[in-house]
Amino acid sequence: MGARWSAVLHVGAGVDPAPLHAALAAAVAEVEAQMTTRRAESDLMRLNRAGPDRWIDLPEHLVEVLAAGLAIGQASGGAFEIGMGDAVAAWGFSGAAADPGRIRAALKEPRRPACEVLELDCANRRARKHGPLALDLCGIAKGYGVDRLAETARAFGIGSALMSIDGELRALGPRPGGQPWAVAVERPDPGQRAAHAVLALESGAVATSGDYRHWVDLGGRRLSHTMDPRRGAPLAASPASVTVLAPRCMEADAWATALMVLGREEGAALARRLGLSVLFLERDGAGLAETAIGPGFAA
């Protein structure tokens, strides 16, 4: 998925780490094989190629992520939208260069939300589309990959671990001795890597979406990778970053994207209504303005 994974784990003396490492690598490889748009043979791309009104059998994990993506899309009022695959590819965020012709098509494309076009049959692990729809799970699949790492470690009896893919992390219990994991909230500066703040994470997940790490340069203008579902284009304006705490990394990942799209004012109001723990960072001259919401970011 264009990112690296890591796992810091504490195991008992004499335990052979090789089977654990192999199982963790297999878990993220499975997520990629099912959910990436960078491989034509992935299960997601197979669904994207399918014609309308045809049931397509899918793996259990992919169905779970599609269902979560649709649910968060509706809960966010459409700010999180998994049906943006054409726009993501057109603007150069799927591994290939931006394509002006495809950009123009994406901007003009009338859009129906994925929840109106994609039908899921979770019990039978299948899906069908009722119209044109290009799915992209870049705002949720990496978080789910982190959850799969945590589930795999737990199956080996691991009770102390910190898993990550890109900017998404999940703690599986505290460090040995009961101390929390120290997780940095990065300063949203494209020119350097520095911590803005440090979170004490004992369990649960954290994800950050921002405008400072992944972008394309188009005509001398830097455009963030976060897409505006209303326009079929990168966000014209957004917070510098949004960090979300949640029990599962899949939810933290998706909500960080949704709240970037909504912006600080509307996003903060929704976060308060839903009881989310969120930190908005916005540029304020040479400094940063914080908006902290929820118990996870209480002073």
Could you give the residue ranges of the DSSP H alpha helices within the chain?
A: 17-35, 43-49, 60-75, 85-90, 100-108, 114-117, 141-155, 249-274
Instruction: Determine which of 58-72, 87-101, 154-168, 190-204 has the lowest per-residue pLDDT on average.
Output: 87-101
pLDDT value, residue 285: 81
- Measured CA to CA, the distance from residue 81 to residue 111 in angstroms comes to 11
What are 254's two structure tokens?
């998706």
- Is the Cα torsion angle 277, 183, 156, 23 positive or negative in sign? positive
- pLDDT digits 0-9 by tens, 18-77: 999 999 999 999 999 999 999 999 999 999 999 999 999 999 999 999 999 999 999 999
Section 98-122 average pLDDT: 88
Confidence of residue 215 (pLDDT cuts 50, 70, 90): low
φ, ψ for residue 144 (rounded to 5)?
-65, -35
| Residue 34: per-residue pLDDT | 98
C-beta contacts of 106-109 below 8 A and 24+ residues apart: 106/232, 106/233, 107/231, 107/232, 107/233, 108/232, 109/232
Residue scoring higher pLDDT (81 or 187): 81
pTM: 0.92
pLDDT reported for residue 120: 98
pLDDT, residue 108, reads 80
- Residue 139 sits at the vertex; the CA angle it makes with 234 and 158, to the nearest 5 degrees, is 155
Q: CA end-to-end span of the chain, whole Å? A: 35
CB atoms within 10 A of CB 165: 27
Round to whole Å and give the CA distance between 163 and 7.
4
Average pLDDT score, the chain: 91
